[in-house]
Amino acid sequence: MNVKKFIAGSSRDAWRQVREALGPDAVILSNRNIDDGVEILAMANEDMSSLVVPAMSKDAVPRPAVRRPPAPQQSLQAAVPRTRVEQQAQSPGASMPVEHNTAQADARVWRTRNAARASAKEQQAQALTPAQVAAGPKAAAASAAAVRPQQAGVMAEFDGKDYDEILSDVMSEIRSMRGVLETQLAEISWGGTQKREPAKAAIMREMLAAGFSASLSRLITENLPQSPKSQDAMFWVKSVLAKNLMTMANENELLEEGGVYALVGPTGVGKTTTTAKLAARCVMRHGPGKLALITTDGYRIGGYEQLRIYGKILGVMVHSVKDESDLRIALDELRGKHTVLIDTAGMGQRDQMVAEQAAMLSGAGTDIKRLLCLNATATGGTLNEVVSAYSGDGLAGCIITKLDEAATIGNVLDVVIRQKLNLYYVANGQRVPEDLHVANRLYLADRAFKLKRETAPFEFQDAELPVVVGPTATAMNDKSLREVILG
């Protein structure tokens, strides 16, 4: 029996020495902490097999060596009873048959292993403090689980990683493989659909070219009526889009009811110009005495002056506020006004001051309805991020600006549909108040597919559609698309 001792500063280094000296199949006999670090007693797998399998007669058929897992607290003395049994089986004066000696030896081996396991459990129980034992069985089990890797560090570590890290890596690989398989299967499925139903491929190509997201385009395309004509299919798509656009029925909802409205949004989306357009409509409906203008834009050079000039033209006083207390005082003084319009400072959607601005409007002591200005020239991902940042406690609605500057408007319509926003107005120019119109959903759905020649280089070809549509398999479970009305 060739037993070797290994001493190292940590269990990881000791196990590395065991592997280098005895190979990866080495059997660990004992493992304990010493002053210098960790001491491990181990032996080669071949030597252990010779101890487990008893000697047999020359005429007997040899039995294959059985490889058994090592017990964490199995000591060197645990192998002694097995050696005595083998000596009795190999002695010339033994009168028992070989089969009886073999059964007796196997029984002795299993009794020894059970005794070693019981000894390991006793040592783990002794390692617990009285306070841990008094804390209850759950705390004792947790403490025992924490002590077990220290007593058998070799079993808790594998190539420098613990069990949790290995499990995490395996789960990450499985998720990655699942995503790849889903994408490839979706590409194959869409490729077959494209060949069987070319009308769906044409609709998909039109919607992507118009700026709609691949997930919304696929959702609508997959629910297309069976075998439609090209013209009828496009009419159905436009009707579905129009049905999912929530718009203001008429201006009476804003001009007649009145109230306090604040226009919010990122820098440069046209909040001040849109405020002036709304102010002009209110003055034409109720006169300048029923309207008041407030600006919180103290950051942009000339921001207050621009709105003051518009107010001077309309005959309306413009009030400037800096913080929540000033806004509260101004609104108290303007309680007699039918409509109050607030022009806020432009802030990027990732600016922390967006939350401060929302808190200022919410804490003014008056019900302030916020209208978010959405730039039609921005990408769908940017607009979606803007809505998420400015939604806060909720938005009364939105206004699409710079419609005349956008080559495609599917991106902004996609976000309005996806976020369930109430669309009040669309602005398509700088003229005050002519270039502000009540949102017409049928017009917008039709306008989305009136593409210009400049957009042709950015349209997808039929061979590229499977690559674009394939990754949307997981995006179809997006919560924002579950309430889209089809048919």
Query: In which domain, by residue range, is 110 found?
Result: 3-159
Q: Provide the 3-class DSSP secondary structure of residue 117.
A: helix
Asked if the structure places residue 11 within a domain, the reply is yes
Asked if the structure places residue 44 within a domain, the reply is yes
DSSP-assigned letters across all residues of 123-161: HHHHHS-HHHHHT-HHHHHHHHHHHHHHHTHHHHEETTE
What pLDDT was estimated at residue 304?
74
Residues 27, 136, single domain; the answer is: yes
Query: What does the pLDDT look like over 302-347, one tens digit per residue?
Result: 667 888 888 899 899 889 888 888 899 999 999 889 999 999 888 8
Half-sphere exposure of 26 (CA within 13 A, CB side): 25
Residues 251, 148, single domain; the answer is: no
Residues 25, 136, single domain; the answer is: yes
Asked if the structure places residue 175 within a domain, the reply is no
Q: Provide the 3-class DSSP secondary structure of residue 29.
A: strand
Task: Name the domain count of the chain.
Answer: 2
What pLDDT was estimated at residue 39?
87
Asked if the structure places residue 20 within a domain, the reply is yes
Residues 311, 432, single domain; the answer is: yes
462 pLDDT higher than 90: no
What pLDDT was estimated at residue 451?
76
Residues 417, 294, single domain; the answer is: yes
Query: What does the pLDDT look like over 357-413, one tens digit per residue?
Result: 888 888 888 889 999 999 999 999 899 999 998 987 778 899 999 999 998 999 999
Q: pLDDT tier at 183 (50, 70, 90 boundaries)?
A: low
Q: Which of 438, 458, 478 is the last residue of a domain?
A: 438
Q: Provide the 3-class DSSP secondary structure of residue 55.
A: coil
Q: pLDDT tier at 169 (50, 70, 90 boundaries)?
A: confident
Q: Which of 91, 126, 159 is the last residue of a domain?
A: 159
Residues 296, 432, single domain; the answer is: yes
pLDDT (average), residues 201-225: 85
Asked if the structure places residue 384 within a domain, the reply is yes
Q: Which of 119, 142, 159 is the last residue of a domain?
A: 159
pTM: 0.60
Give the chain's mean pLDDT. Answer: 75
131 pLDDT higher than 60: no
Lowest mean pLDDT among 84-88, 440-444, 483-487: 84-88
Q: Return d(Cα 342, Cα 311) in angstroms, integer.
A: 12
Asked if the structure places residue 207 within a domain, the reply is no
pLDDT (average), residues 137-151: 51
Asked if the structure places residue 189 within a domain, the reply is no
Residues 136, 269, single domain; the answer is: no
Is the Cβ–Cβ distance between 428 and 438 less than 8 Å? no
Is the Cβ–Cβ distance between 149 and 38 less than 8 Å? no
238 pLDDT higher than 70: yes
What pLDDT was estimated at residue 249?
79
Query: Which helix (DSSP H) or strand (DSSP E) does residue 440 occupy?
Result: none
For residue 281, which amino acid is it?
R
Residues 265, 152, single domain; the answer is: no
What pLDDT was estimated at residue 365?
82
Residues 263, 397, single domain; the answer is: yes
* The pairing of beta strand 27-34 with beta strand 37-43: antiparallel
CA distances from 124 to 106, 151, 235 (A): 27, 8, 75
Compare 300 and 60 and report the one with higher pLDDT.
300
Asked if the structure places residue 261 within a domain, the reply is yes
Token digits of residue 337: 């006004």
Token digits of residue 416: 């309005």
119 pLDDT higher than 80: no
Q: Return d(Cα 480, Cα 387) in angstroms, integer.
A: 13
CATH number at residue 278: 3.40.50.300
Residues 141, 250, single domain; the answer is: no
pLDDT (average), residues 182-196: 63
pLDDT (average), residues 148-166: 55
Residues 8, 133, single domain; the answer is: yes
Q: What angle do CA 61, 67, 70 make, to 5 degrees?
A: 145
Query: Which helix (DSSP H) or strand (DSSP E) does residue 306 occupy?
Result: helix 303-314
